[in-house]
Structure 1
């Protein structure tokens, strides 16, 4: 395994874990928090949502939320570059020389 493929695998693994954590947070929020808040009074709902928004505004959340996106982008860029030998995903086109192309057969 080359150093580049090890780096690609590490970044891809980190991106997968980060996206899984963010997806889990959204799932818990959608399945547990919002239905629980829907049972409460409107004033309580607004107060709790404001408190949660204040709690979410911290460096750990921003790092995990934006880090998942950045790691996914870096992973995709590295992966595309490793498949084609570099160049941001551009693939080289192979052409055949006229002598190596098969001749059409006329017999049926």
Structure 2
């Protein structure tokens, strides 16, 4: 059976929990699950006529980063400047609150 998707990058961060460098460059995905990680051998084995192949030369593919951002509400906690974005439900409301804060800081200077 062929993979639905194959992703090739310049480098794939180690999917194995054991430390050490990797030479992996290809990930094969079938029905939403990773079925193989390796080099061009994985590409040759899992690719079929209907397989979508995505090429990202120069990129690094990293596993498990599904939440790689800072939360804006942290500003309302001890690590931020005190800007409370809690309870805001739209982008316009967030932008308005930020604009108000910028204006307040300008008056404080």
Question: With structure 2 as the length reference, what TM-score do the two structures score?
Answer: 0.23
Higher relative contact order (CA 8 A, sep 6+): 1
Which protein is bigger by CA-based radius of gyration?
A: 1
- Which protein is richer in strand relative to its size? 2
- Which protein is richer in helix relative to its size? 1
